[in-house]
Structure 1
Amino acid sequence: MLVSACLLGISCRYDGRSSHHDLPELDKPEICIIPVCPEQLGGLPTPRSPSSIVGGNGYDVLDGKAKVITKDGQDVTENFIRGSYETLKIARELKAETCYFKDKSPSCGLHLISENTGEDLGPGVTAALLRRQNFNVIEVKAKAVPPGPTQD
């Protein structure tokens, strides 16, 4: 199964932190877990400026009708699309049946919420692509954890 790398304690979130999950099914030793970070796979650094989908949701980004823009105004749409397709390649190659993705992410989230209206805008870019390809995508609610000490 594919899992958002940040959920596994890998510090790849936009702010350089990881997230914490409460899913015992991810802690079973017999399960093969493949960590992925679509934003890093798309060439974005960590840390990076936070991004939002402007003009729609992940499906709209994939269809060229919306863009992904950083807080600083940089268009990172191509990075998000590239990372989504790289994640799809991994999912196909490893025959992943289920993907556990972090909530609220413009890549991985299934239910992006409008800050203005509270409306469910739909999935992020990677979640949209994998759902289009009939993968089972499960959204995991998670909280950010402070970065740990670096290891050399």
Structure 2
Amino acid sequence: MLEKIQKLAGENKAVLVCPEVMGGCPTPREPAEIVFGTGEDVLDGRAKVIDRSGREVTELFVEGAYKALETARKHNATLIVLKENSPSCGSGMIYDGHFSGNKIPGEGVTAALLRREGFKVISEQEFASGAFDIR
């Protein structure tokens, strides 16, 4: 699947971004999870993103989401493919905020913002399977 995405990027049909890096998160970085909600809740100020050490990184995740939104608008994106389970990019499942490995239905901060702004968002699994409607 990664080869397919890289091929599209090489043909100027895809743009590769990482909202977490765009927001100022270091690489490598500690795992982070949304606590007390989902990406929608983070955007509305009802939940936070915390890393495994307990440091709040909400601002970095929100900033990265808005930079990803700017990029999507700049390139007139018609389809956004995001990494499932991520506190930024999860489009259907995210970790539960307890660093327990348990997943819950929900979306990450970037996925929530992009959907809120009308973009079609799917996971990398949906993209790989071809089980999506481009409209």
* TM-score for the superposition, normalised by structure 1: 0.71
CA RMSD of aligned residues (A): 2.0
More helix by share: 2
Are residue 65 (structure 1) and residue 46 (structure 2) matched?
yes
- The 3 A distance-change label for structure 1 pair 71 and 97 is same
Indicate the structure with greater strand content. Answer: 1
Measured after TM superposition, the shift of residue 119 of structure 1 is 3.6
Matching residue of 1:6? none
Query: Would you say 1:138 and 2:122 are equivalent positions?
Result: yes
State the Cα deviation string for residues 67-92 of structure 1 (Å, max 9, x = none): 00000000000000000000000111
Moved over 4 A (4+): 22-26, 28-31, 115-118
Of 95, 101, 110, the residue aligned with 1:126 is 110
**Distance between the aligned counterparts of 1:34 and 1:116, measured in 2?**
30
How many percent identity over aligned positions? 46
Pick the aligned partner of 1:112 from 83, 88, 94. 94
Three-state SS of the structure 1 residue aligned to 2:45 is coil
1:35 corresponds to: 16
Count how many residue pairs are aligned between Structure 1 and Structure 2: 120
**TM-score after normalising by structure 2:** 0.80
Q: Where does structure 2 lack aligned partners over 5 or more consecutive residues?
A: 126-135
Q: Distance in 1 between matches of 2:121 and 2:3?
A: 15
| Cα drift, residue 45 of structure 1 | 0.6
